[in-house]
Amino acid sequence: MSTFQAPKGTYDLIPPRSAVFLAVRDTIATQVRNAGYGYVETPGFEDVNLFARGVGESTDIVTKEMYTLTTKGGDQLALRPEGTASVLRAALQANLHKQGNLPVKLWYSGSYYRYERAQAGRYRHFSQVGAEAIGAEDPALDAELIILADQAYRALGLRQYRILLNSLGDKECRPVYREALQTFLRGLDLDEETLRRAEINPLRVLDDKRADVQKQLVDAPLLRDYLCDACKAYHEQVRELITAAGVVFEDDLKLVRGLDYYTRTTFEFVHDGLGSQSAVGGGGRYDGLSEMIGGPALPSVGWALGVDRTVLALEAEGVTLDLPAPTSVFAVALGEEARRVLFGKVTELRRAGIAADFSFGGKGLKGSMKDANRSGARLTLVAGERDLAEGVVQLKDMESGEQRAVALDEVLEAVRAQLA
């Protein structure tokens, strides 16, 4: 055992469970790629002010959870706690919005970092796949992203999740609601920190998970009653489009999510099999974020799906993904000449796109066949000095136990035929 261990609240991904994480990422990525989203990758750290301005100074992420550091040159940086601000910054820096063909549609995958209380389903290092549509105000884009996330979860085999949907209004109607909510909150028995948060962004108080706070919020004014006609019409179009696509959702009038940049459409995917950490993904529209970080007006919408929590949801439902075997063919060589010949055959198989492995370390027939079993290989190639003298190798089907001799120059064709 090593002297060192992974930091508290983090984890190592190792086989075979890591294959499930890769499959989840690939399945989500397939949905967005098919819808015209291109891949973007951003640094693991950014200027701390990118998140302070974009995510919001009143959020727990900025006030309590960011990992910050000062470089030798005096720059203030933060490990990225979420993906949207970084992706939008990258799009602006590359002037993607000036190249026509808006919206700019991007997807990403990576690790993110928040200093949270470590518990099941909540880590200080976590993995997400996200998608952003930048530069267009269109309810069809909001609907598209919700539908794509739903397709991704269904493609994975998940069924026991719910989609929560709400509208947060815009710069025209939300200030009126904000004032009404602040007036209501000032009359409650709230602690000093919560009251301070209410003055900065009162909607964040609605997201407070403490039972004593939620109990006082029962009669809080609802944003729905303050939406302007434009926001009502926009939200109704989103609802109609996803309903027409057969996507089932629930209206949640208190859904605000944890970031300050959301406007209008906001949504969350929750799984009731995960306990208190029930959100597996979510997102919404963020029409003013570009201006917050110094860019032009670029109405945008996006989401992030948690890979970690999606895996937990799969486990909660008992869903087993159909994962490809890491190895299709395993070569067992008995003797030095056989090692040289079979190593060459393994290389040939790999070049032909067949997953193949080799028995390393000279373990002998018994030990090598144990390795072959552990690898999950469908076929084994076995050869000793006598086989080579006859110009053949033994091709064994690990499922049926059948074994036959195959000429050395016919190994590739024989393997292809048997795997097919």
- Per residue in 383-415, pLDDT (tens digit) is 999 999 999 999 999 999 999 999 999 999 999
Of 286, 67, 278, 46, which Cα lies nearest the Cα of 171? 286
The distance of Cα 261 from the centroid of its chain, to the nearest Å, equals: 20
What does DSSP say about strands 38-39 and 104-113: parallel, antiparallel, or unpaired? parallel
What b-and-e string marks burial along 201-220, b requiring 16 or more CB atoms within 10 Å of the CB? bbbbbbbbeeeebeebbeeb
Lay out the sheet containing 125-134: strands in order across.
Answer: 38-39, 104-113, 125-134, 300-306, 279-285, 263-271, 161-167, 250-251
Q: Do domains 17-173+227-317 and 329-419 have the same CATH topology?
A: no
Give the type of residue at 412.
L
Residue 247 CA to residue 240 CA, distance in Å, equals: 10
Query: Per the confidence metrics, is the pTM higher than 0.85?
Result: yes
Predicted pLDDT of residue 234 = 97
Predicted pLDDT of residue 205 = 84
DSSP conformation class of 65: I
Q: How far is CA 101 from CA 136, 253, 288, 296, 342, in A?
A: 10, 34, 20, 16, 53
Q: Where are the beta strands (DSSP E) in 314-419?
A: 329-333, 356-358, 379-383, 392-397, 403-407
- Per DSSP, helices labelled H in 187-323 are 192-200, 203-206, 211-216, 229-244, 289-292, 307-317
Taking the domains of the chain in order of start, what are their residue ranges? Answer: 17-173+227-317, 329-419
Q: Are 249 and 287 in contact (CB under 8 A)?
A: no
| Secondary-structure class of domain 17-173+227-317 per CATH | alpha beta
Residue 349 CA to residue 360 CA, distance in Å, equals: 17
Predicted pLDDT of residue 230 = 94
Residue 368 CA to residue 378 CA, distance in Å, equals: 15
Predicted pLDDT of residue 58 = 56
Predicted pLDDT of residue 167 = 94
Predicted pLDDT of residue 57 = 61
Residue 282: CB partners within 8 Å, gap ≥ 6?
257, 266, 267, 268, 269, 303, 304
The distance of Cα 307 from the centroid of its chain, to the nearest Å, equals: 4
Torsion sign, CA atoms 69, 73, 76, 77? negative
Predicted pLDDT of residue 217 = 87
Predicted pLDDT of residue 274 = 85
What b-and-e string marks burial along 23-60, b requiring 16 or more CB atoms within 10 Å of the CB? bbbebbbebbeebebeebebeebbebebbbbbbbebbb
Residue 266: CB partners within 8 Å, gap ≥ 6?
165, 166, 167, 168, 255, 256, 257, 282, 283, 284, 285
CATH fold of 329-419: Rossmann fold (3.40.50)
Q: What is the pLDDT of residues 54-87, one digit of tens each?
A: 776 656 667 678 899 999 999 999 999 999 999 9
Residue 419 CA to residue 417 CA, distance in Å, equals: 6
Give the chain's residues under pLDDT 50: none
